[in-house]
Amino acid sequence: MMAIHAPKPGDGKEYVQCPRGTYSAVCVDVVDLGMKDTGFRDDKTGQPRMAHKIRLVWQVNKNMDDGRPYLMDNRYTLSLSEYMGKKSNLLSLVEAWGVDLMDLIDDTNEYDMERLIGRVCFLNVVHAPSKKDPSKVYANLASIMPLPEGMPAMKQRDYVRVTARPTVAKPAPHEDEVDDFPPMAPVGDDDIPF
């Protein structure tokens, strides 16, 4: 039987929260998270409301003790629409970033969110306690704006996109195993205050 090893502390695998502050940054990844429970219920059916979510990841111009740049990320519903005068959070972000929506259109005439990768910006990071557990504090994106004129653009370094990382294959089930367990609940957005 093969051992399953967890990384040792100090192996560079643990998440280090981005400090509060204002940073120049570069978008290094757009991760498709798929359909996620929004925490709300459909008024008619009572079923959980699901929404397609993505995560944007930026490197900021401040380094951790090991020399790697801090990462900042945020989750968004995959929507660039407006409803009853209210813009989606993703649309508000893209506009505040100064990105022209036409720059995101690909050859299929669709918005390609991966076109945000490599774009520079200025981020304001704040820390806020979790609504569910005030003992947990998270780094949150308070605002984004285009990089001020004359400020040198940060270059991406030492980051491997989630889609390019090796995946760990699950072992094939044995013949005598019965898959009668309910699927595990996704590790959720429950404690993430955005």
The answer to whether position 122 is within a domain reads yes
The answer to whether position 25 is within a domain reads yes
Distance separating alpha carbons of residues 152 and 173, to the nearest angstrom: 53
The answer to whether position 168 is within a domain reads no
* Predicted local confidence at residue 14, as pLDDT: 59
The answer to whether position 123 is within a domain reads yes
| 4 vs 148: which has the higher pLDDT | 148
Provide the pLDDT confidence category of residue 193 given band limits of 50, 70 and 90. Answer: very low
The answer to whether position 176 is within a domain reads no
DSSP structure string for 104-144 = GB-TTSSB-GGGGTT-EEEEEEEEEE-SS-TT-EEEEEEEE
Total count of domains within the chain: 1
Range of the domain at 127: 21-37+50-159
Give tens-digit pLDDT for 104-121.
999 899 999 999 999 999
Q: Is the pTM of this model over 0.85?
A: no
